[in-house]
C-alpha cells in the first residue's frame, strides 16, 4: 500500500447524504450514481460510534488494518463499515464476532495516509448497515455480507416537529460551545427538516453522551423513536454548556476585578511616589518609629540601641525574615513611654472623697493610703511603692487598687498572676525565639503611655511553678525598690526605670507567697466586714448596681434595712460581700418576673419575703454551746474569722487515755497534746482532783469534722475545756477566747485579732480573752468594733482560769 492512497477526492463526494436516492426496488439506499455494495470489509472503532451524518478523520493501527484499507482502495465503491466496540479486543486476530453491536455505519474512505505505524483517513458517513453473514472472520481483513435498513419516504408532521426542535436545540448549543465552528453552522444549514434521519444522527453526534448511549441511537432505526431518544440528550448538553459558560464567566469576572484592582493600586503607588506623597514600606516604617520617639527622653544606652536597629532596618530587604524581627523589636522599643511621666493629683481631700465614694468601712486601709499620699504631697512626688493587700475574697482588694489610681489621677493597669507558670510572662522572651514578646510590664507601660502608672498584680499568692521557670523569683527584681530602677526585660534587652510605678498586689493568704518576695512588700490587711458595714455597702453600692443591671427603677423595687440585715445574717455571713451581691441579684431577678406580669406594681422587699425568694436561711443563729467541758474558741480562716466550739468529755475510768477528733492538722494536734500535758501536770493548783486524768479516758472534739482546721491559737481553749471537765464545773457563759499555750503555762500571741473580734460580734459574744501581747493589736481596732466588748488580757493560763471559774 503506497504512502498516499488514490481515493476519490471529488468535493461533491462529501456531505451529500441529503441527496441519497433510493434503489429502483425501494428496498435499500443508493449512493449518487451507484448502488450500495452488498459485501464490505469492516473495521471496529472504540471511542464512540460513527454516525451516517458525520465526516471525520479516523485513525487505526497499521497492524492489522493496512491490508483491509488496501483492499478498500482497490474496490469500485471505496467503502467500508465501521462498528463500535465498547472494549478493545486484546488481539484483533482472534475476533469475537458476538461483541459487535447490531448496527454500524457504511463510510466512504478519502485521503488515506500512513505515519508512525498509524493509518489515517477521512470517513464520510453514508448510511446504517447491518451484518447479514460473515464471509471471512478468522483474521483481518474481515469480509461480511450486509443489508441496509428500510426507511419511510415521507416524514409525518410529528417527525417534522421533532426535526424543528432538534434544529433549534443545536442552534442554542452552538453559541455556548466555541468548539463547534463556522463549518458546523454551514453544515447545519444544509440539513432539512423534511429529511430528518441525518439531522437526528448529527444531533446525537454533537452530544458528549457515552458510547453505549450513542450506540442505542444508532441501533434505533424507526425515525420517531430515534428522535425521542436524541432530543433529551441534546437538551441536557445545552444545559451543561450553559452552566459551564456561567461558571467560566463568573471566574473571569472575579479574576478581572482583582487584576483591575491590582493595576490601579500599583499605578496609585507609582503616582504617589512620583509626587513624593508616600514612601515605600521601609521608609514609612522608619518614619513612623522616629515620630513615636518625638517628645520622649531615652537613656543613652537605649538611644544608641534604637539607632543601631534603625540603621539595620534601612538596609534590610522588606521580604527577609530578619526585617520582620527588627521591625517588631523597634515597634516595641519605640512604644515604651521613655521619660514620660503623668502628673499626680496630690490633693488629700480629693483622695478622701474618692475613697469614701467607692468604699464603706475599711477606715484603717483608707488612713494608710492617705498617709502614703501625704508623704508624696509633702515631698512633691510619689516615688514607687509596693503595697500588698491581704484579705478574704470579696472584701474589695481589687477595687481599692482602682481607687488608689483614681485618687492619684494615674492610669491603672491590672493583670492577674493566678496560675502563671512562665517567668517570660514577667521578664519577656529572648528575641531569638519565634513569636517572642516582651513581658507584661513592658506591655503595661505601652498601654498606659506613662512611666508612673498604678500596676495591680492580682492573686500574687496563686502563682505556679514549672519547668519554664519560677515567676515568683522573676518578680523579685520587679518589686525590689533597690533593683527596679534598672529592670531588664529580656526581649528589649534595655534597662527600664520602674521605680516610679506604684505596685498594688493582692492575695487571699500569705502562706503561699515566698519569703523573699513577701519581704519586698508592705502588707496591709483587709479583714472582713461586720453586719453594719455590710448593710451600708449593700445600700450604697450593691443594691443600686443590681437595679441598674436589671434596668429596674428605684421607685418600682426597694428593700428595707431589716430585710438587708436578715439577708446578711441568714444567707451571706462570709467576710466579703461578693456572695451578698449574688443574693441581692437573685432578689432583683425574682422581682423582675413579677414586674413583667404587672408593669405598674411597686414591690417592697421585707424580711418575710426573703424565704420565698431565696429558700430557707443557710445560716441559723448558732446556739453557743455551753456546759461542763465546752468552751468557745475563736479562729482565723482565709474567708475571715469564725467561732470554734471545743468539747471535752470523759468516756470511762478504766485506764488513762486521750483521743482527738475533728479533722485537725498537725499543729492543732500538738496544741491539744500540750494542753493535755499542762492541765494534767498542774491540776492540783487549779483546784481539781490530781488523780482525775490518771484514771480517765478523755475525748476532745472540735465540731464540724468535715472542715479541715489547723493553727496554733487553740491551745488556751483546749486547756480550758479539759480543766472544766476535770473540775466538773461549767465555765462562765458568753465568753470566747484565743491564744497559744506553752508547756509552762505562758499564753503566746496570735494573729487575725480583727477577724476574730468580728466573728465574736457576729455571734453576739461580747466578752473575750486575748493574749496580753495582743493588747496593742486590739487597741488599734476601730472604735465601732471595740464598742461594747469586754476584753481580758492573759499572760499565763492561770489568768484564764480565774476569769472562767
Say whether 110 sits in a helix, a strand or coil. strand
C-beta of residue 366 within 8 angstroms of C-beta of residue 501? no
Burial of 82 (0-12, 13-18, 19+ CB in 10 A): buried
Inter-CA distances, 138 with 9, 70, 91, 631, Å: 33, 18, 12, 122
Q: Which of 527, 671, 680, 713 is the catalytic position?
A: 713
Nearest in space to 17 (alpha carbons), one of 60, 68, 51 = 51
Q: CA 502, CA 384: separation in Å to the nearest integer?
A: 5
369: number of Cβ within 10 Å: 23
Q: CA 50, CA 221: separation in Å to the nearest integer?
A: 15
Say whether 165 sits in a helix, a strand or coil. helix
379: number of Cβ within 10 Å: 10
Q: Please provide residue 523's backbone torsions phi and psi, each rounded to the nearest 5 degrees.
A: -85, 125
- Residue 304 among the catalytic residues: no
Per DSSP bridges, beta strands 79-84 and 412-416 are unpaired
Q: CA 252, CA 246: separation in Å to the nearest integer?
A: 10
Burial of 115 (0-12, 13-18, 19+ CB in 10 A): exposed
Say whether 588 sits in a helix, a strand or coil. helix
Q: CA 455, CA 472: separation in Å to the nearest integer?
A: 16
Give the CB-side neighbour count of residue 156, counting CA atoms within 13 A: 9
Q: CA 725, CA 729: separation in Å to the nearest integer?
A: 7
Inter-CA distances, 682 with 327, 660, 679, 692, 731, Å: 79, 21, 5, 12, 18
Region of 692 on the Ramachandran plot (φ > 0 left; ψ -120 to 50 alpha; else beta): alpha
Q: Please provide residue 624's backbone torsions phi and psi, each rounded to the nearest 5 degrees.
A: -70, 115
Q: What is the DSSP string of 289-308?
A: HHHHHTT----HHHHHHHHH
Q: CA 265, CA 794: separation in Å to the nearest integer?
A: 88
Give the CB-side neighbour count of residue 252, counting CA atoms within 13 A: 6
Q: What is the 3-state secondary structure (H, E, C) of 22-81?
A: ECCCCCCEEECCEECCCEEEEEEECCCCCCCCCEEEEEEEHHHHHHHHHHHHHCCCCEEE
With a CB cutoff of 8 Å and minimum separation 6, the contacts of 624 are 632, 643, 645, 734, 763, 765
Q: Annotated binding site: which residue ranges?
A: 391-398
Q: CA 73, CA 75: separation in Å to the nearest integer?
A: 6
Q: Which residue has cell 488608689?
A: 404
- Residue 713 among the catalytic residues: yes
679: cell is 492541765
Q: What is the 3-state secondary structure (H, E, C) of 400-418?
A: HHHHHHHHHCCCEEEEECC
C-beta of residue 30 within 8 angstroms of C-beta of residue 23? yes
Q: Which residues are catalytic?
A: 713, 756
Amino acid at each position: 500500500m503506497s504512502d498516499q492512497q488514490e481515493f476519490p477526492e471529488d468535493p461533491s463526494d462529501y456531505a451529500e447524504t441529503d441527496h441519497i436516492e433510493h434503489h429502483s426496488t425501494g428496498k435499500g439506499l443508493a449512493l449518487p450514481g451507484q448502488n450500495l455494495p452488498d459485501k464490505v470489509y469492516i473495521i471496529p472503532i472504540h471511542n464512540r460510534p460513527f454516525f451516517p451524518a458525520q465526516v471525520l478523520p479516523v485513525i487505526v493501527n497499521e497492524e492489522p488494518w493496512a491490508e483491509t484499507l488496501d483492499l478498500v482502495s482497490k474496490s469500485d465503491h471505496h467503502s467500508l463499515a465501521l462498528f463500535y466496540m465498547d472494549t478493545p479486543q486484546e488481539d484483533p486476530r482472534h475476533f469475537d464476532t458476538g461483541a459487535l453491536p447490531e448496527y454500524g455505519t457504511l463510510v466512504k474512505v478519502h485521503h488515506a495516509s500512513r505515519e508512525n505505524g498509524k493509518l489515517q483517513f477521512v470517513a464520510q458517513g453514508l448510511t446504517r448497515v447491518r451484518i447479514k453473514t460473515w464471509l471471512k472472520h478468522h483474521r483481518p481483513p474481515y469480509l461480511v455480507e450486509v443489508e441496509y435498513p428500510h426507511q419511510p419516504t415521507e416524514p409525518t408532521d410529528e417527525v417534522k416537529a421533532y426535526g424543528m426542535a432538534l434544529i433549534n436545540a443545536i442552534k442554542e448549543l452552538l453559541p455556548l460551545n466555541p468548539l463547534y465552528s463556522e463549518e458546523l453552522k454551514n453544515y447545519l444549514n444544509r440539513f432539512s427538516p423534511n429529511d430528518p434521519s441525518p439531522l437526528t444522527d448529527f444531533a446525537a453526534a454533537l452530544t458528549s453522551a457515552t458510547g453505549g448511549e450513542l450506540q442505542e441511537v444508532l441501533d434505533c432505526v424507526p425515525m420517531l423513536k430515534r428522535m425521542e431518544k436524541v432530543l433529551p440528550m441534546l437538551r441536557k448538553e445545552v444545559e451543561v454548556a450553559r452552566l459551564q459558560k456561567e461558571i467560566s464567566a463568573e471566574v473571569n469576572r472575579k479574576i478581572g476585578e482583582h487584576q483591575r484592582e491590582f493595576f490601579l493600586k500599583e499605578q496609585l503607588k507609582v503616582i504617589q511616589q512620583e509626587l513624593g506623597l508616600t514612601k515605600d514600606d521601609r521608609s514609612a516604617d522608619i518614619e513612623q518609629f522616629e515620630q513615636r520617639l518625638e517628645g520622649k527622653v531615652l537613656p543613652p544606652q537605649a538611644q544608641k540601641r534604637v539607632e543601631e536597629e534603625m540603621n539595620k532596618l534601612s538596609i534590610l530587604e522588606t521580604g527577609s525574615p530578619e526585617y520582620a524581627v527588627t521591625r517588631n523589636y523597634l515597634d516595641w522599643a519605640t512604644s515604651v513611654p521613655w521619660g514620660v511621666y503623668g502628673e499626680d493629683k496630690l490633693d488629700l481631700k480629693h483622695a478622701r472623697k474618692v475613697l469614701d465614694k467607692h468604699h464603706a468601712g475599711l477606715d484603717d486601709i483608707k488612713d494608710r493610703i492617705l498617709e502614703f499620699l501625704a508623704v508624696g504631697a509633702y515631698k512633691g512626688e510619689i516615688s514607687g511603692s509596693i503595697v500588698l493587700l491581704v484579705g478574704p475574697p470579696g472584701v474589695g482588694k481589687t477595687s481599692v487598687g482602682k481607687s488608689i489610681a483614681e485618687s492619684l489621677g494615674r492610669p491603672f493597669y491590672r493583670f492577674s498572676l493566678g496560675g502563671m507558670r512562665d517567668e517570660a510572662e514577667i521578664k519577656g522572651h529572648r528575641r531569638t525565639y519565634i513569636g517572642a514578646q516582651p513581658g507584661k510590664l513592658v506591655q503595661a507601660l505601652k498601654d498606659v503611655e506613662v512611666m508612673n502608672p498604678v500596676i495591680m498584680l492580682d492573686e500574687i499568692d496563686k502563682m505556679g511553678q514549672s519547668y519554664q521557670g519560677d515567676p515568683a523569683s522573676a518578680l523579685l527584681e520587679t518589686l525590689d525598690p533597690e533593683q527596679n530602677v534598672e529592670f531588664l526585660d529580656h526581649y528589649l534587652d534595655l534597662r527600664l526605670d520602674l521605680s516610679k510605678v506604684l505596685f498594688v498586689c493582692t492575695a487571699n493568704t500569705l502562706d503561699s507567697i515566698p519569703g523573699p518576695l513577701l519581704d519586698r512588700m508592705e502588707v496591709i490587711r483587709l479583714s472582713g466586714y461586720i453586719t453594719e458595714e455590710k448593710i451600708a455597702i449593700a445600700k450604697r453600692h450593691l443594691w443600686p448596681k443590681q437595679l441598674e443591671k436589671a434596668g429596674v427603677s428605684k421607685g418600682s423595687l426597694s428593700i428595707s434595712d431589716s430585710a438587708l440585715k436578715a439577708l446578711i445574717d441568714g444567707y451571706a455571713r462570709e467576710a466579703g460581700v461578693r456572695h451578698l451581691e449574688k443574693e441581692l441579684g437573685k432578689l432583683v431577678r425574682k422581682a423582675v418576673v413579677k414586674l413583667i406580669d404587672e408593669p405598674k406594681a411597686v414591690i417592697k422587699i421585707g424580711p418575710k419575703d426573703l424565704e420565698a425568694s431565696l429558700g430557707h436561711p443557710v445560716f441559723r443563729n448558732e446556739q453557743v454551746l455551753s456546759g461542763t467541758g465546752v468552751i468557745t474558741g475563736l479562729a482565723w480562716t482565709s474567708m475571715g474569722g469564725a467561732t470554734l466550739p471545743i468539747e471535752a468529755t470523759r468516756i470511762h475510768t478504766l485506764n488513762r487515755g486521750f483521743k482527738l477528733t475533728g479533722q485537725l492538722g498537725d499543729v492543732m494536734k500538738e496544741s491539744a497534746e500540750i494542753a493535755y500535758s499542762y492541765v494534767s501536770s498542774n491540776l492540783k493548783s487549779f483546784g481539781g482532783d490530781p488523780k482525775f486524768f490518771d484514771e480517765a479516758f478523755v475525748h476532745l472534739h472540735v465540731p464540724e469534722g468535715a472542715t479541715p482546721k489547723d493553727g496554733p491559737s487553740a491551745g488556751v481553749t483546749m486547756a480550758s475545756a479539759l480543766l472544766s471537765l476535770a473540775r466538773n464545773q461549767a465555765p462562765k457563759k458568753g465568753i470566747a477566747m484565743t491564744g497559744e499555750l506553752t508547756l509552762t503555762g505562758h499564753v503566746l500571741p496570735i494573729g487575725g485579732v480583727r477577724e476574730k473580734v468580728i466573728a465574736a460580734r457576729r455571734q453576739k459574744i461580747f466578752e473575750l480573752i486575748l493574749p496580753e501581747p495582743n493588747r496593742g493589736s486590739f487597741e488599734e481596732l476601730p472604735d465601732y468594733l471595740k464598742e461594747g466588748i469586754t476584753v481580758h488580757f492573759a499572760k499565763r493560763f492561770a489568768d484564764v482560769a480565774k476569769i472562767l471559774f
